Copies of this chain bind each other. A is one copy, B any other.
Amino acid sequence: MAKKWSLPPIESLRADGLRIADLDAGGTPGFEGDKNEGLDLLTERTAVLSDLQEKLYANGRSGDARNVLLVLQGMDTAGKGGIVRHVIGSVDPQGVDHASFGVPTEEEKRHHYLWRIRKALPRGGQLGVFDRSHYEDVLIVRVHNLVPPEVWEPRYDEINAFERELLDQGTTLVKVAMFVSLDEQKKRLRERLDRPDKYWKFNPADIDERDYWPAYQEAYQVMLDRTSTDYAPWHVLPADRKWFARLAITELLIDALDRLKLDWPPARFDIEEQRRRLAHA
């Protein structure tokens, strides 16, 4: 772990026992530096992430089924898109599987809620990113009573079983719930109304959703309590400071990749023989 972290984000952001109601969305848990120090460190660590991702991709191309899947949850304006653009955008697109999950299509609605998720799972060697995920089915669905409790209630256990299955298939899940304060959200929504280049990001329904914040808070809390497992733990990310969110997720991804203990795939051919052949080709 690089300097300036007194506690790595894998620990400082862990969901266990955390109450969202007590969260300081402007905080930088575990990080002792300021914004400039954070940005310097981000540059440095981005290069590390990029190297590790290339190794993951190389191993995937060589038949390794393992992969890493970043699952991003958060209210509108929490900065999920910025993470994809700036953190995931720093690695080779060839090794990235990006999927975002909005309102289900008519076809998706006719299937089990995990159907569209399974279809979007990353291949071996890929860094997958889910912008929203199967967790929508215990968040917005619960808050807005889109299905009755007897339908969403069993989903927590079902999701745990599903994620256990992913682990068994070689997927390391990095689950991050991003939280902005209501004030910061208002600022970001206001910006979307003030800048013509941001109108397209604005949806009047985002304002309505603010009224549901207590209900979302409860739904998020239950989600964290019931689906943060030892094999797929949740990380709770204060997201008012974009630089911190990017730095923290970069570190979480580095940590996940480090745990795979990746090396470059060995040559599956006789190097000297191929050199001789090439010399005469």
Contact = CB atoms under 8 A, between A and B. Distances in A.
A243 interface: no
Choose among A58, A59, A62 the residue with the greatest number of B CB atoms under 10 Å from its CB.
A58
B193 A61 contact: no
B200 A62 contact: yes
Interface string A266-277: 111101001101
Interface in A38-67: 58-59, 61-62
Report the copy number of this chain in the oligomer. Answer: 2
A197 B61 CA distance: 13
Contacts of A169: none
Contacts of A204: 269, 274, 277
A85 interface: yes
A89 interface: yes
A78 B268 CA distance: 22
A105 interface: no
A199 B89 contact: no
A281 interface: yes
Nearest to A55: B197
Interface stretch (A92-100, A158-166, A229-237): A92-100
A199 B196 CA distance: 49
Given A186-B278, A278-B193, A264 B200 contact: yes
Interface in A241-281: 264-269, 271, 274-275, 277-278, 281
Contact of A202 (B92, B96, B267): B267
A204 B199 CA distance: 53
Contacts of A197: 58, 264
A139 to B, nearest CB: 20
B58 A200 contact: yes
A268 B186 CA distance: 19
Contacts of A62: 200
A96 B94 contact: no
Contact of A274 (B94, B186, B207): B207
A190 B275 contact: yes
Choose among A59, A196, A201 the residue with the greatest number of B CB atoms under 10 Å from its CB.
A196
11 contacts: A81-B94, A89-B92, A94-B98, A190-B278, A193-B275, A202-B269, A202-B274, A204-B269, A204-B277, A207-B277, A207-B281
A-B pairs, top 10 by smallest CB distance, nearest first, are A199-B267, A58-B200, A200-B265, A85-B92, A210-B281, A197-B264, A207-B281, A88-B93, A207-B277, A84-B94
